[in-house]
Amino acid sequence: MCKDTFFHKKKTLRFRQEIFELKCPIVMGILNVTPDSFYDGGKNISEKDIIRNVERMISEGATIIDVGAVSTRPNSIQVNADEEIQRLKPVFKILLKYFPNTWFSIDTYRLNVAKMAVEEYGFGMVNDISAGNMDNKMFLEIAQLQVPYIIMHMQGTPENMQENPIYSIITQDIILDFSKKINKLRQLGVNDILIDPGFGFGKTTEHNYQLLKELSAFNMFEIPIVVGLSRKSMIYKLIENTPDEALNGTSIVNTIALLNGADILRVHDVKQASEALKIVEFYKNC
């Protein structure tokens, strides 16, 4: 059983008319259907690969599968909406056919893609790396869709976010940004909001580890915290290896994130994240 903390976070999310209780931290598995993502680009192209990888993530403990079709690695060139939709539609049909009872999230910053995923294919969550900055009508659409909405902090865009990220005091700056966006969403009637500090998105290695150290500060919002640390450069550059070799480092930073208040781990490697989660929860409650 998970212990309560000083902060009383919102523990329920509405998924496709079902109420999901976020009693303990959970794992969100990543399904990238892109040819050019920094780690798993091109690994989920065939129907066979998609089915196998989703089955594996579910069996290893993923509660939600996050599906994306646009690479947002640093310096990536963003494809247009038509290309994003063209990549997603065949995947959506496969997921709807083989995994009708699985909870899926759509990783997109475009309202028309979010609308299609939710209304036509039954997706239950929207994960927006830009928190509405790259589509100024996204907040209004989320208010209409009434699905859980992850707002992530990003300074700049994927094309330029790592050129020269500058903050006054990084954690305070991001808290201020989230405060404004959460207030706007609530005014529109959006109830299920989650926040992601955006590790690696417009941040130096020092910024990332400062955020990780101060992650518990985001508990002040009393809403779920999502972290996406999986195999990122803040890990592999520090320990001087590659994304392919960064699994151990990922498990370490995921463990730190869980100890500091993370509620959802967004990962490529579900088995290892689930094991970290189980160990941390036992440690915290023994």
Tell me the per-residue pLDDT of 129-173, one tens digit each, with 9 for 90 and over.
999 999 999 999 999 999 999 999 999 877 777 888 899 999 999
Q: Is-contact 43 49, C-beta < 8 A?
A: yes
In the set 11, 203, 232, 284, the catalytic residue is: 232
Among the options 115, 266, 271, 278, which is catalytic? 266
- In 3-state terms the chain splits into helix, strand, coil percentages (rounded to 5) of 40, 15, 40
Distances (CA, A) of 42 to 4, 81, 128, 221: 41, 19, 22, 37
0.85 exceeded by the pTM?
yes
Task: Establish whether 213 is a catalytic residue.
Answer: no
Dump pLDDT digits (tens) for 56-78: 999 999 999 999 999 877 766 77
pLDDT of residue 38: 42
Q: Name the token pair of 80.
A: 């247009």
3-state secondary structure of 249: helix
Q: What is the mean pLDDT of residues 2-24?
A: 78
Of the two residues 161 and 111, the one the predictor is more confident about is 111
Burial class (CB in 10 A: 0-12, 13-18, 19+), 256: middle
Position 1 scores a pLDDT of 56
Q: Give yes or no for residue 41 having a pLDDT over 50.
A: no
Residue with tokens 């050129």: 163
Q: Which strands sit side by side in the sheet containing 226-227, from one edge to the other?
A: 193-196, 149-152, 125-128, 103-107, 62-68, 26-32, 264-267, 226-227
pLDDT surpassing 80 at residue 45: no
Q: What is residue 150's predicted lDDT score, i.e. its pLDDT?
A: 98
Superfamily of domain 23-285: Dihydropteroate synthase-like (3.20.20.20)
pLDDT at 202 over 70: yes
pLDDT value, residue 4: 52
Gap between the Cα atoms of 40 and 82, Å rounded: 22
Question: Would you call 137 a catalytic residue per the annotation?
Answer: no
Mean pLDDT of the chain: 91
Copy the structure tokens of residue 200. Answer: 């690696």
pLDDT tier at 121, thresholds 50, 70, 90? very high
- Is the pLDDT assigned to residue 174 strictly greater than 90? yes
Cα 114 versus chain centre, distance: 15
Q: Looking at the predicted structure, is the pLDDT value of residue 262 above 80?
A: yes
- What distance in Å separates the CA atoms of residue 22 and residue 31, rounded to the nearest whole number? 22
**Model pLDDT, residue 263:** 97
pLDDT for the residue numbered 173: 97
pLDDT, one tens digit per residue, over 250-259 is: 999 999 999 9
Determine the pLDDT at residue 39: 42
